[in-house]
A and B are shown apart, each in its own frame.
Chain A
Amino acid sequence: MKDLSLHLLDILENSAKAGATEVAIRLAWGKEWLDLEIADNGPGFPDSVKADPTDPFRTTRTERKVGLGLALLRAAAEQTGGSLELGTAKEGGVWLRARFQFNHLDAKPLGRLEDALNAAMLAWPKLNLSVRIGPDREEVLNTKEIKAQLGDVEIGNSQVQVFLYQLLRQELAPLYEWAAALSLNTGKPE
């Protein structure tokens, strides 16, 4: 996966497919570390997978015997000198924290994180997202709250989506600035 936003979308798809209705996404960074923490209220890892969820041959997929998402996420983190920790969320489902050392030559770019969140909101409307960004982990987006405020108006309404997209870009700006300053890769964002 070219950038971290694709990993984010992939992990959120895991939560959606597992039937979770709430997922908390936390992005925190400092010095050269970036933490991506995701916790959902799904059923958690089944016994068949629990022993090593990052093993590509242990998967809950039914159409084939290989699931690469967590394996690739672990590789992405470890190739920067970081790590992937997995466990049980306090909400009951899967908890994971991927830590990346961002000033590493093999650190993937962030990509457009707001696109991943936007796509998740629209592709999996039953999965509510709670997004916290920054060292204080302030909650900047909560789709449950948004839907409550919107009432009859659909979250997929184009005007609402443009607003949320701009809101996310604003909240992500400090992260993007930090990443641009630290990154050793001068590849242009796509």
Chain B
Amino acid sequence: MKSLDELRKIRDEVKKNLEMRAGEHRAKIVVGMGTCGIAAGARETMRAFLEALDAAAITDVAVTATGCAGFCDQEPLVDVEMKGQPAVRYGRVDTAAVRKSVQEHIVGGKKVDALVIG
């Protein structure tokens, strides 16, 4: 694999940033990636999150995916779990909603009520 050097550089940068926060990720984002999610655009939602986090120079957020949660008509579903707080579930998360949730919730610390479901 090429670019392992670059990967190592990123690893070191991320580690440094994590160390500043005592090794903890500030938040975990779980994107619904079941068939319903994919049909609703979850892949674009995930990509938008990664790009928004990168643009905001946030390096201590972990992104994972999960399957169908049963709220198919609310897909793309995204759970945002800030460290030490219960997870907040957002529904119908399109790219505009992604930007909002990164700015207001992940950076600003305040959940976006308009997006919250159940």
Contact = CB atoms under 8 A, between A and B. Distances in A.
B13 interface: yes
B112 interface: no
B88 interface: no
Contacts of B14: 153, 157, 159-160
A161 B18 contact: no
Contact of A119 (B10, B61, B65): B65
Given A158-B53, A160-B10, A162-B54, A141 B47 contact: no
B interface bracket (residues with beta carbon within 8 Å of A): 35 or more
A156 interface: yes
Contacts of B13: 159
Given A153-B11, A156-B63, A162 B50 contact: yes
A163 B6 CA distance: 9
Interface residues of A, number: 32
Interface of B: 1-4, 6-8, 10-11, 13-15, 18, 23, 25, 31, 33, 38, 42-44, 46-47, 49-51, 53-54, 58-67
